[in-house]
Chains A and B, each alone.
Chain A
Amino acid sequence: MTRTQEVLQDVVIKFAGDSGDGMQLTGSQFTNNTALMGIDLATFPDFPAEIRAPQGTLAGVSGYQLRFSSDSVFTPGDECDVLVAMNAAALKANLKSIKKGGKIIVNTDGFDAKNLRLANYPEGVNPLENDSLSNYTVIKMDVTKMTREALSDITMGMKEKDRAKNMFVLGFLYWMYNRDMENTISFLKEKFGKKPDILESNIRVLRAGYNYGDTTETFTTTYKVEKAKMESGVYRSIMGNQAVSYGLIAAAQKSGLQMFLGSYPITPASDILHELSRHKAFGIKTFQAEDEIAAITSAIGAAYGGALGVTTSSGPGIALKGEAMGLAVMLEIPLVIVNIQRGGPSTGLPTKTEQSDLMQAYYGRNGECPMPVISASTPADCFDAVYEAVRIAVQHMTPVMFLSDGYIANGAEPWRFPKSEDLPAITVNFKKGLDEGEEKLQPYKRDEKLVRPWAIPGTPGLEHRIGGLEKQDGTGNISYDADNHQHMVKTRQAKVDNIADYIPLQKLDSGTATGKVLVVGWGSTYGAIKSACTELQAQGKSVAHAHLRYIRPFPKNLGEILKSYDTVLVPEINNGQLIRILRDEFFVDAKGYNKIKGVPITKGELIEEIGNYL
């Protein structure tokens, strides 16, 4: 039989199935395999809203989108080239995101009468049997049957056997994209090492899927995507929440501080608690508190004791932390508050992404309560951004809000990880004793940055009391003096504003220093804005892109940049939050582009929107 190999530049695959079908695992295995080939990639896991939605229903569909390319990749792609649908609901939920002419790989067993009914297809209608999919190439395979056949001589319950179904699909795709399967086999060995029959069944079915592609004559073409031209270096694949965890560990190590994490589980932030809990060998103390208030206040207590205090949560939990953040601002104590944003308000859309907590981060506390805000724009960027958050917190004695979101948190990308020796130093100087002429500690005596000393319990001679009441500058004694309060409010603000002197200037991500349109973004819109802008620039359009990491304070040159273009466009996955702050701070007539659907903005949508201003 003759087989051809086609070289492709860019592929988007979406794995979709019931939440019990193991699609997240299948997707992440294919992702790691792709990464190890040196191919650039971006991913977008799309979790069902309910953990235990009824099997086979639309609500229970779990998806994992992966884009890989021999070119640089910044988004997981607007439309899929290939959809893997394990059942009828998975097909129905994702049909509109498949490219015309794309491939659909279906598990026919997932299209029986029951599954069709659960997916709300009308009685007697099966999309595999009518011409509704005529615009696509449909590859039908009875995955369940073939999985069972591959395991026919293994004694194991039918249900257990069926659990390996996803491996069949994974094996088939490995064949289709010319991969070797070693990384998955060693992953399975690690995961199921203690359960030899489960290990054996998974590996067998994986191979069966591969062999199915290899021996079945119907498949005549395999595909190959070449290595991407990335900067030279050693890479690994990393997810956003993992990068936050690593950034925090690295910052603790480099600063010599013990890390204390106070946290209460919440989607999509829990993985940071899980990850940090695994790294006790770094001396990290993790504390699953009774609620978010205890989570942040325990971290404040630890920070008072000289630890790197960290608390992680998502919008609703951040709301609960509000009062304690105010305390940290008053105490002028270092603290990192991590908000992995999700759809709001209230419980909102827990598993969907949104950038709607910026106002909360910026203003959401009682009183005049300024706090630095740092945001990450991609999974790997979380590492550097949270490292910066720690640096600012400890060097400026202030709580810092770090923003990421569900899309970044669960997305993966290749990461040229740093060497620890190349990471910037974070120097911490606990106060060791009284200054000359100081009779007793002046806890609010400030240095040239307006920063007060970090004097920790256990240090003889520096006993002092601090609290949330307004205090006299210098001595820290309670003060209700009118002028002192005005002075302190202005001082706390100036302290945060001064941080602008200690952060880099804003750079353009792409484009020229003046022109027609400047697209200003923050957070997870990075990939879509970058892709849209570079594509338009290639067409000779006058478009530039600036992406903000430092949102409070802004880099000192931001105002100037904003005034250098005819139009400033601010795309956000919210109802217009950064745009209001920019208008307020810089008096620019910025235009918004707001998509609030719980999913990322796509490149295509942006190209169209930017086009309106060209």
Chain B
Amino acid sequence: MQLFYMSEVTTAPALTAKDFATDQEVRWCPGCGDYSILAQVQKVMPTLGIPKENIVIVSGIGCSSRFPYYMNTYGMHSIHGRATAIASGLKAARPELSVWVVTGDGDSLSIGGNHTIHLLRRNFDINILMFNNQIYGLTKGQYSPTSEQKKITKSTPMGSIDHPFNPLALAMGADATFVARSMDRDPKHLQEMLLRSQQHKGASFLEIYQNCNIFNDGAFEVFTEKSSKADETLFLTHGEPLVFGANKDKGVKLDGFNPVIVDLNEGHSKDDLWVHNEKDFYKAQILVRMFDDPRIAGHLPRPFGVFYETERACYEDVLQLQIDEAIGTKGVGNLDKLLRGNEVWEII
């Protein structure tokens, strides 16, 4: 009944990053973190083994949402906040496609917040790349739902009043099945997280810290700069203890439900530390809450990596199963039978 055609996967020649670039001039500001993210996505795509005609990138509106124009796949640059909903419909109709959403912090958490949480709870097998620059870039620098409180922007000359979202806690609250964080300035880690997002069967929520050097320069500096990165970040590895610091001599342990920093040189060993388990739903709730303001003394380091991953049936698969089941029990729908119904009469 469907007239779709799919290419033969087996005959696809090996692709390179270049195959995924387009002839469109990239129009982000020089120095924008989006360039690095684009480069990493272009590097990862050829390794996925997916023919490029089966990849669709859907975006909303924002600087970040220009992304599809620069990727030589199928793509849609849609309207503000709705990429997640468009992608949901596309995936429902065409489960065999690899569907990616590129969205900003405003796009996905402000105007499109509703669709984001609903995509996550429904668990469409879609990869959401959320470029978080903690600002509205495209509209020239208003605060966003992830901007820190008291932020001075064009629309908040006396400092913003809004308490910011913690995006990963929101994703956990929406029962996302894959929750991860990376950053524009760590290409290797970002590539790994992109790969993991794709490998996860179900909705993946990958938050990517992205520097907007024009309107919010340095927002993530403490996490990305060589001088502070090691002490301010905590890279998560499944099955490994939470160790950080330039000399790998600091760790995080759980004191009841509270994560606390311990010094491995002073009476603590790695055995005392919290061992990361991506499958641990309860601990993941604590991990996403490690969201301290790095300006406050005694703050916890900011985790990066896969916080949580679990398996749950995908919406599009169950939708198809119901159709198969209906056909199995009733047979393929017969239009003439439907139109006729149960009760007819004849006029001669």
- Is A235 located at the chain interface by the 8 A CB criterion? yes
The interface stretch among A47-55, A133-141, A463-471, A578-586 is: A463-471
Query: Chain A 268-311 against B: per-residue CB contact (8 Å), 1 yes, 0 no?
Result: 00000000000111111101011101100111111011110100
Q: Which residues of B contact A280 (CB under 8 A)?
A: 322-323, 325-327
- Enumerate A40-73 residues with CB–CB distance to B below 8 Å: none
- Is A253 located at the chain interface by the 8 A CB criterion? yes
Cβ-defined partner of A457 (8 Å) among B56, B339, B346? B56
A304-B53 in contact (CB<8A): no
The interface stretch among A29-37, A116-124, A337-345, A595-603 is: A29-37
- Is A220 located at the chain interface by the 8 A CB criterion? no
A420-B335 in contact (CB<8A): yes
* Distance A331 CA – B75 CA, assembled complex (angstroms): 12
What number of residue pairs across chains A and B have CB atoms under 8 A from each other?
232
Query: Chain B 1-19 against A: per-residue CB contact (8 Å), 1 yes, 0 no?
Result: 1111111000000000000
Number of A residues, CB within 8 Å of B: 78
Cβ-defined partner of A281 (8 Å) among B52, B68, B331? B331
* Distance A293 CA – B93 CA, assembled complex (angstroms): 18
A465-B75 in contact (CB<8A): yes
B77-A468 in contact (CB<8A): yes
- Enumerate A109-160 residues with CB–CB distance to B below 8 Å: none
- Is B180 located at the chain interface by the 8 A CB criterion? no
Q: Which residues of B contact A309 (CB under 8 A)?
A: 89
- Is B186 located at the chain interface by the 8 A CB criterion? no
A420-B89 in contact (CB<8A): no
Q: Which residues of B contact A235 (CB under 8 A)?
A: 344-347
The interface stretch among B35-43, B78-86, B198-206 is: B78-86
B78-A468 in contact (CB<8A): yes
Closest partner residue, chain A, to B56 (CB atom): A457
B86-A300 in contact (CB<8A): yes
The interface stretch among A226-234, A533-541, A558-566 is: A226-234
B51-A287 in contact (CB<8A): no
B89-A253 in contact (CB<8A): no
B335-A306 in contact (CB<8A): no
The interface stretch among A173-181, A211-219, A256-264, A445-453 is: A256-264
- Enumerate A439-461 residues with CB–CB distance to B below 8 Å: 456-461
- Is A192 located at the chain interface by the 8 A CB criterion? no
> In the complex where A35-B345, A456-B4 touch, is A327 in contact with B79 (Cβ < 8 A)?
yes
- Is A249 located at the chain interface by the 8 A CB criterion? yes
* Distance A282 CA – B344 CA, assembled complex (angstroms): 22
- Is A550 located at the chain interface by the 8 A CB criterion? no
- Is B271 located at the chain interface by the 8 A CB criterion? no
A457-B54 in contact (CB<8A): yes
Cβ-defined partner of B348 (8 Å) among A232, A297, A456? A232
* Distance A432 CA – B6 CA, assembled complex (angstroms): 11
Closest partner residue, chain A, to B329 (CB atom): A281
Distance (whole angstroms) from the CB of A311 to the closest CB of chain B: 10
- Is A419 located at the chain interface by the 8 A CB criterion? yes
Closest partner residue, chain B, to A423 (CB atom): B335
Q: Which residues of A contact B4 (CB under 8 A)?
A: 306, 430, 456, 458
- Is B248 located at the chain interface by the 8 A CB criterion? no
Closest partner residue, chain A, to B111 (CB atom): A293
- Is B109 located at the chain interface by the 8 A CB criterion? no
Q: Which residues of A contact B76 (CB under 8 A)?
A: 301, 304, 331, 465-467
Distance (whole angstroms) from the CB of A500 to the closest CB of chain B: 29
Q: Which residues of B contact A230 (CB under 8 A)?
A: 347
> In the complex where A232-B347, A262-B89, A290-B118 touch, is A463 in contact with B319 (Cβ < 8 A)?
no
Distance (whole angstroms) from the CB of A251 to the closest CB of chain B: 10
Closest partner residue, chain A, to B325 (CB atom): A280
B86-A297 in contact (CB<8A): yes
Closest partner residue, chain B, to A461 (CB atom): B53
- Is A428 located at the chain interface by the 8 A CB criterion? yes
Cβ-defined partner of A301 (8 Å) among B22, B69, B89, B114? B89
Closest partner residue, chain B, to A478 (CB atom): B69
- Is B72 located at the chain interface by the 8 A CB criterion? yes
Q: Which residues of B contact A477 (CB under 8 A)?
A: 24
Q: Which residues of B contact A283 (CB under 8 A)?
A: 1-2, 323, 327, 333
Q: Which residues of B contact A466 (CB under 8 A)?
A: 75-77
B344-A236 in contact (CB<8A): yes
* Distance A457 CA – B94 CA, assembled complex (angstroms): 9
Distance (whole angstroms) from the CB of A429 to the closest CB of chain B: 9
* Distance A130 CA – B338 CA, assembled complex (angstroms): 52
A297-B53 in contact (CB<8A): no
Q: Which residues of A contact B6 (CB under 8 A)?
A: 458
Query: Chain A 233-246 against B: per-residue CB contact (8 Å), 1 yes, 0 no?
Result: 11111100000001
A459-B53 in contact (CB<8A): yes
Closest partner residue, chain A, to B65 (CB atom): A467
- Is B87 located at the chain interface by the 8 A CB criterion? yes
- Is B88 located at the chain interface by the 8 A CB criterion? yes
- Is A418 located at the chain interface by the 8 A CB criterion? yes
B3-A430 in contact (CB<8A): yes
B93-A258 in contact (CB<8A): yes
Most buried by B among A228, A302, A457: A457
- Is B151 located at the chain interface by the 8 A CB criterion? no
Distance (whole angstroms) from the CB of A289 to the closest CB of chain B: 7
B79-A462 in contact (CB<8A): no
* Distance A238 CA – B339 CA, assembled complex (angstroms): 10
Q: Which residues of A contact B340 (CB under 8 A)?
A: 234, 236, 417
* Distance A258 CA – B95 CA, assembled complex (angstroms): 13
B82-A324 in contact (CB<8A): yes
Q: Which residues of A contact B92 (CB under 8 A)?
A: 260, 285, 287, 298, 301-302
Closest partner residue, chain A, to B98 (CB atom): A457
- Is B255 located at the chain interface by the 8 A CB criterion? no
Distance (whole angstroms) from the CB of B335 to the closest CB of chain A: 4
* Distance A284 CA – B319 CA, assembled complex (angstroms): 10
Distance (whole angstroms) from the CB of B54 to the closest CB of chain A: 6
Query: Chain B 39-77 against A: per-residue CB contact (8 Å), 1 yes, 0 no?
Result: 000000000000111111010010000001101111111
- Is A589 located at the chain interface by the 8 A CB criterion? no
B85-A301 in contact (CB<8A): yes
B79-A324 in contact (CB<8A): yes
Cβ-defined partner of B85 (8 Å) among A36, A256, A294, A428? A294
Q: Which residues of B contact A262 (CB under 8 A)?
A: 89
Cβ-defined partner of A231 (8 Å) among B54, B88, B90, B347? B347
A37-B327 in contact (CB<8A): no
- Is A358 located at the chain interface by the 8 A CB criterion? no
Q: Which residues of B contact A465 (CB under 8 A)?
A: 22, 68-69, 71, 74-77
7 additional A-B residue pairs with CB within 8 Å, beyond A418-B339, A467-B76: A183-B343, A234-B340, A235-B347, A246-B338, A293-B82, A297-B89, A465-B68
A residues neighboring B (CB under 8 Å): 32, 35-38, 183, 227-228, 230-238, 246, 249-250, 253, 256-258, 260, 262, 279-285, 287, 289-291, 293-294, 297-302, 304-307, 309, 323-324, 326-327, 331, 417-420, 428, 430, 432, 456-469, 477-478
Task: List 25 A-B pairs, Cβ < 8 Å.
Answer: A228-B347, A235-B345, A249-B333, A281-B326, A281-B333, A282-B335, A283-B1, A289-B118, A294-B118, A297-B78, A298-B92, A299-B89, A306-B4, A307-B94, A309-B89, A323-B79, A417-B339, A419-B336, A430-B3, A430-B4, A456-B4, A459-B7, A460-B7, A463-B74, A468-B78
B residues neighboring A (CB under 8 Å): 1-7, 22, 24, 51-56, 58, 61, 68-69, 71-79, 82, 85-94, 96-97, 114-115, 118, 319, 322-323, 325-327, 330-333, 335-336, 338-341, 343-348
Closest 7 CB pairs of A and B: A298-B89, A467-B77, A301-B89, A282-B333, A301-B90, A280-B326, A301-B86
